[in-house]
A and B are shown apart, each in its own frame.
Chain A
Amino acid sequence: MNIKSAAAIAFLLLTISCGTKLNSNLAGGDQLKPRDTALEVGEPAPDFTLESHHNQKITLSSARGSKPTVLVFYRGNW
C-alpha cells in the first residue's frame, strides 16, 4: 500500500466516524449497523431513538422498561 492510498483510507475512516457521531443524536448511533438479512429470534434488537407523530423522542431501551415491545414496520402513508 502506498502513502496515497493509506491517506485515502485514513480520510475515509475519519469521514465515517464523523458521520456516525453526527447521526448518533438521531437514531441510536453506533448500534445501528445495516445488515443484509433480517434480524432473527434470539438476537439483540438494536437500540434506537426516533421521533413520534406527536414529536416525542422515543428510545427503545428506556421505553421498554419491564414490558415487551411490539414493533410494526409498515410502508407509510402513500
Chain B
Amino acid sequence: MRYLIKADEQVNVYAISVDNPEQSREFAEKISADGKGSINYPILSDPGHRLIDAFGIRDPDYNGQKFEGIPHPSVYIIDKDGRVAWARVEKDYKERPINDEVRAALKSLKMIN
C-alpha cells in the first residue's frame, strides 16, 4: 500500500475500502509498525460500498458473503476537471496495480514531473 504511490504536492491520493475509519486506522498502524514508513494519505471509508458500486468495480465473487462489496483492486486517475484520465481494474485479486505503473501513467499524462 505505502509503496503504491506516495502522495505529493502535485496530486491528491486517497485509498478507499469498505472498512470503517477505525479499521482503516488499525490498518495504517499495522503498515507503519515495521518502521519502514507510514501511509501519508487519507484512507477513506465506503462501508456501504456505494462509491465502489458507482465505479462499477465491486467483485461479484463476494456477493451474499461476509465481505460483500469488496472492490476489484483498482486505481483511477481523475483529472482536475473530474474526468477519468486513466484506470486500471484488476480482475484477479492477487494482482495489484503497481506503483511504477501509476507513476508512469501520471508522467505520460503530464500530471507529475
Same complex for A and B? Answer: yes
Residue positions of A touching B, CB distance < 8 A: 23, 26-28, 31-48, 50-56, 58, 60-61, 63-78
Q: In the bound complex, do residue A47 and residue B82 qualify as a contact, i.e. CB atoms below 8 Å apart?
A: yes
Please report the total number of B residues contacting A with Cβ < 8 Å: 60
A contact residues around B44 at 8 Å (CB): 50-53, 58
B contact face: mostly helix, strand, loop, or mixed: mixed
- Picked from B76, B93, B109, B111, the residue with its CB within 8 Å of the CB of A71 is B76
Residue positions of B touching A, CB distance < 8 A: 1, 4-5, 10-19, 21, 23-28, 30, 42-46, 48, 50-57, 67, 70-80, 82-87, 89, 93, 97, 102, 106, 109, 111
